[in-house]
Chain A
């Protein structure tokens, strides 16, 4: 009997670990009060609730020797896994850039597949160090979910794609249409807003997998598909006959895609931001994978000297090596190189840089001065 009892005790411990349905009763008043204060309180170091401290994530990454980056395993142009199991895409290269900056080697990154439902939780719980999954920067996500958004690396807008044969040209033509789109994103909310504003009726079909959205649309299940325009362009260029599809000249929303980190570790937040800025500065000043060694040796540009670790202790201020930016440009390239590799005209998922160009070329990418 005692053995059984012992087993039961062990069991109860195990089971209770997974029987939460019984526990989440309304929170007692005591815990309600401090939590009602904005999340910022927690971030600045509330004595009662110990926040993820400053520098913890970096320490964790360095100790592990690998960066854990949350991605979407099936989003052409941004992140896909090919037959050999290798990952590629814009999001993937952004992950690699962070790994190169922090660990000095773009290969030291673990790509953790996430879904629209699990991505934020996995970030909150520390399954991933950074989420680079074409995630739109919104107010609610920034404030309500305990997350921080780094500057957007891709300014997108939600669009609508139809078949050319349908003859649709504007949103009003889609009254009564059925529209396919991805789920768990801002897409469904934006479309609902846009259609309601024009008092248009429609039927939504929401899929988990971007590929499902296109294939069902292609088969005629829907009159139109809605997605971020980048996604639409990528899907269209992969289709058998890209000319059969038209992306309507409407933009339903702003979709700034940004890397996400959890709140409470400002050092890590800075590292992600400055990794992006480093890519942009290099892009702006024409420092490429090929000429970075040259530039490092010869350039008289003070900002580039600081960037590449020739002058100043910039890396140390982030808690990194001074060659952090040199490493990432040397191994991954600048932002333009990343873009051309994954979304350039020679790829299957060609997208114009458009507003995603440097501010000097009329785009929105604007790196803060590195000084």
Chain B
């Protein structure tokens, strides 16, 4: 439908409201009826939802348990560590936004204003002030990036690379009980923080493994490719929940006695290895989309096989799979909710704990709506950022 538009943009019509309505909602009698019916349905359901939300819903359960839902049982005295992680994240987002995606004014305003919006939530003053602080850090990052774009580019990239390990170390801690950064056992990590960490570890680590699997699958060595095929197809054939069950009940058996990793690490390992199989197929799709001519041209230029992979093939493949990568990042984040079934207290898991509190029995719907909203918001933000990056790398421009 857009094909003809591209050749020659048609003369624009006079856009009046009436015109627009006729063109988009009331083209003919059928369309008009549909529109009216839809309007009625929307009105009734919106009214129902609003009435319920504002009058019947008892949101006290969320407000009282907000900390539990966000960070689980993470000790109150140590929460500053999570705030530091959030602060660094805000700074990095601000910097990256300033460096790479500053064009869109509205999006920029929302990004920079996000922390301030969170500061409006009905929580204690300290938390609100901290959000304001995060907001300023983000804005400062954005400003800095505008002033020293050239200088900061590499630094920010490196910072992103080390961000996750640093955060994991910070959240985990390394000193003894009475030290400045005491260790916090993974058994009391929880809430949205845990979901985010599992998702981040799973996605980031699965990428190199997946890429290696994809290359291995396309390898000329039959044994290696057979191994990769078997692995990828086996993992893709079974549900994630069985992989999680396996990680909790079977993985310990395979480790030498006396050597054990904790349940969270097991879940993260399982999640990474599971994601890797899917990632491998994404990467393979990207690799196969590259015309043979590119390989040949690289060879003609005298590039070695590794050089051509690194300089010619992978960058193009990455750009090809960027849209699908965004989708799989969101998918992975959604999938982390399954760790609840093996007893980890992630966002959904801790919600079930909240529902068991004697004073909040039967508040299922409020809690689930809150969860759905948060999951949706995060996924939406990720997909929006994905679109921004796509626009930056010009996937659309070159391919369509």
Binding site for B on A (CB under 8 A): 1, 3-4, 7-8, 11-12, 14-15, 17-22, 50, 65-66, 68, 73-76, 80-87, 110-115, 117-118, 121-122, 124-127, 208-211, 214-215, 218, 238-239, 348-349
Contact = CB atoms under 8 A, between A and B. Distances in A.
B77 to A, nearest CB: 12
29 contacts: A3-B306, A4-B216, A8-B224, A11-B209, A17-B254, A18-B251, A20-B246, A21-B234, A73-B356, A74-B355, A80-B356, A80-B358, A82-B357, A83-B64, A83-B67, A83-B354, A85-B67, A85-B73, A87-B73, A112-B187, A113-B343, A113-B345, A117-B248, A117-B342, A121-B248, A122-B248, A210-B356, A215-B362, A238-B358
Contact of B343 (A18, A118, A238): A118
B74 interface: yes
Given A118-B249, A121-B249, A348 B358 contact: yes
Nearest to A18: B273
Contact of B76 (A84, A111, A348): A84
A127 B252 contact: yes
9 closest A-B pairs (Cβ-Cβ)? A74-B356, A125-B252, A85-B73, A115-B343, A211-B356, A112-B187, A121-B249, A18-B273, A7-B212
A85 B231 contact: no
A349 B361 CA distance: 13
Interface residues of B, number: 60
Contacts of A73: 345, 353, 356
Contacts of B358: 76, 80, 238, 348-349
A127 B279 CA distance: 31
Interface string B184-209: 01011000000000000000000011
B345 to A, nearest CB: 6
Interface of B: 64-65, 67-68, 72-76, 177, 185, 187-188, 208-209, 212-213, 215-216, 219, 224, 227, 231, 234, 238, 245-254, 257, 260, 262-263, 269-270, 273, 305-306, 341-345, 349, 352-358, 361-362, 364
A215 B188 CA distance: 27
A237 to B, nearest CB: 9
Contacts of A83: 64-65, 67-68, 354, 357
A292 to B, nearest CB: 26
A122 B245 CA distance: 12
Contact of B245 (A7, A65, A113, A117): A117
A75 to B, nearest CB: 7
Given A125-B260, A215-B364, A15 B356 contact: no
Contacts of B213: 11
A189 to B, nearest CB: 20
Contacts of A87: 73
Contacts of A76: 356, 358
A50 B355 contact: no
B212 A8 contact: yes
A182 to B, nearest CB: 12
A165 to B, nearest CB: 18
